[in-house]
Structure formats: C-alpha cells, structure tokens
Amino acid sequence: MPGSKDRFAEFCQEGYVPLSHQPWWLDAVCGGPEHWDVALVPARKGTVQGAWPYFRKRRWGLPVIQLPPLTAYAGPWLRYPKAGRLAFEKKIIAGLIDQLPPVSFVQQCCHPELQNALPLLWAGFRQTTRYTYVLADTHELPKLYANLKHGLRTELRKAERSTVLDRAGAPGEVFRLNRLSFGRKGQRQPYSEQAFLRLHECLQARGQARCLLALDRHSGRPAAGLYLVFDARSAAVLLTGFDPAFGQQGALHGLYWAAIRFCSEHSLRLDFEGSMEPGIERVFRAFGGQLQPYSYIWKAGNRLLDLCIRH
C-alpha cells in the first residue's frame, strides 16, 4: 500500500499504540525501515481501523514473518468502535491477513489486549495460549509491599544491605549481565548488542527507559541489572541479568522492586514480560503479578515447517 508507513505513523499519533508496534521501535530492532512493513485496513473516510506491522527475514533460506528482536508482542492492533467489537475484529483482522505478503510461515505473539484469536484461527492460523504476569495497579505502594511473600521481603532486605541502586546505569552492563544469565542455561542471547543499543538510543531520546543496576556495596561491581521501558500507560521489563558471584544478595529482586516503585510514582501498570519457567514465574507471582494470557500464533505452508515453528 503506497504511503502505508506514513499512514501508520499517523495512526500511532491518533490514539494509543503499544511500544512494540511503534515505527521508531521497529526501525531500531529490525535494523532499519527497509526490514519491516505494515498492513493497514482503513475505513471509507480513510481513517485507519487496524494495523499489523511485521518483521520480514529469511530463516532456513525461506521468507518468514516473525517477532522482531527484543520485542515481546506483535500482530494486529485495532482501533475499536463504540459497539460491535466481535464483528469488527472479524472484519478488520481478515482484512489485515489478506494484506500480509506471501511467506513460508508467520509466527507472532499477539498483544494481551487482543483476546479474540478466532479470526486468526478461521484464516488457518494455529494458536496456543501463553502467559505473562502483570501488576495492573501500582498506586498503593505500601499495600503492594505488605502483600509480598515473606521470603521476598527477606530478599529485599538483603539487597538493601548488600547493594547500592544505580538508577542511571550503563546499558552495556545490563546487556552483559543478561548474556551471563543466558550462558548459565547453556543458551545464546537471541538478540545482538547492536540492536539493543539502537533501541536504547531511541528510548533514551524519548525519555522512555530506565537502566537500573544493583552495585555490590563493597566492590562497586554490578551484581544485577534491569532495563525498564515504558510509555504513558504501561511499563515492561525488557532485560534482566545477574552475576552469579553475587547470587546471595537478592540484587535482582531489589531491582524488580525499584521498577515497581518507579511504576507507582508514574501511575503505570507493569508487565513483567517474563518466562513461564516455574522458578521465574514464582518470583513474578510473589511480587503480586496476576496472570495475563496472550496468543502465540503461527501458520506454515507444510507440516514440517509447522513442527519446526511449534517446537
């Protein structure tokens, strides 16, 4: 669609669109505007009613659409009318799917606010439900602290004794600590430092990120790091990591609490955007996070690709 990115930029200015769908975010994480595009469905008067920005690349030598690096959610974003939500979703999502380019497969994690996956299933997509943890109301900080699990309050006291909070930490340090965390699991970071630093520069220029470090009180070395991103409505934990040499200090727990304090001060909900692994999930739940489902969707051209995507 000629001028689709310009119209999409206008769509983002006319109402709320989450960070992960913003054009500047996509420019940063995709490596430039030439690596992503957007499907749009306008109303008769030209107002955009729905958008699906997508990241194109080649995987196994095949053209695909998948999640961009450092991006938790993608897929359709709709501007809802006052009534007729279900019929609207069916119509607009079908129109967006029709505009996606021909690729070997599509793989997305939809934003939690898109709760109706039926139009995607009707179009041949497969779907499974995943979960994040969200603190929807952060206003009453003393109440949030009182509701923490007892063991978690102990970890926070340890962090206060053992570490010093740096609210303007170096993003490269958070990235390094995040890489250490992947390394302990025998995994490779699924994103590059260049992509992260490009995104950091965009967020910093907009005042929409906080880079938090917990420094060991004795040596001054970074014990843990947390990178928080936010807009006017919501904040999300983008990256975390800790140095196992300081593993008994509760440093990362202290940083999560610092992120919650920041959200409380700015009236933001907090999406932990975390793993469903039992050990990590338990921490998010201990902080008071509530389960929030979202749809993981995929569509492949043959059974072999479908199995590769699913696993």
Q: What does the pLDDT read at residue 134?
A: 96
- Asked if the structure places residue 288 within a domain, the reply is no
d(CA 147, CA 124): 44
Q: What does the pLDDT read at residue 48?
A: 94
Bridge partners of 215, per DSSP, are: 164, 222
Residues 20 and 125 in one domain: yes
Could you tell me which of 233, 226, 239, 242 has the C-alpha nearest to residue 270?
233
- Asked if the structure places residue 201 within a domain, the reply is yes
pTM confidence score:
0.93
Residue whose pair of structure tokens reads 């390394």 in the numeric block: 183
Q: Assign residue 60 the CATH number of its domain.
A: 3.40.630.30
Secondary structure of the chain as H, E, C letters: CCCHHHHHHHHHHHCCCCHHHCHHHHHHHHCCHHHEEEEEEECCCCCEEEEEEEEEEEECCEEEEECCCCCCCECCEECCCCCCHHHHHHHHHHHHHHHCCCCCEEEEEECCCCCCCHHHHHCCCEEEEEEEEEECCCCCHHHHHHCCCHHHHHHHHHHHHHEEEECCCCHHHHHHHHHHHHHHCCCCCCCCHHHHHHHHHHHHHHCCEEEEEEEECCCCCEEEEEEEEECCCEEEEEEEEECHHHCCCCHHHHHHHHHHHHHHHCCCEEECCCCCCHHHHHHHHHCCCEEEEEEEEEEECCHHHHHHHHC
Q: How many domains does the chain have?
A: 2
d(CA 307, CA 10): 38
Q: Which two tokens stand for residue 35?
A: 């690596």
Q: What does the pLDDT read at residue 302?
A: 53
- Asked if the structure places residue 243 within a domain, the reply is yes
Residues 301 and 195 in one domain: no
Residues 256 and 236 in one domain: yes
User: Digits of tens for pLDDT over the chain (311 positions)?
Assistant: 447 999 999 999 999 999 999 999 999 999 999 999 999 998 777 789 999 999 999 988 899 999 999 999 999 999 999 889 999 999 999 999 999 999 999 999 999 999 999 999 999 999 999 999 999 999 999 999 999 988 899 999 999 999 999 999 999 999 999 999 999 989 999 999 999 999 999 999 999 999 999 999 999 999 999 999 999 999 999 999 999 998 788 999 999 999 999 999 999 999 998 777 887 888 899 999 999 999 999 999 755 455 555 54
- Asked if the structure places residue 28 within a domain, the reply is yes
- Angle ∠(200,236,202) on CA atoms, nearest 5: 20
Residues 114 and 199 in one domain: no
Residue whose pair of structure tokens reads 């140095």 in the numeric block: 243
Range of the domain at 170: 139-267
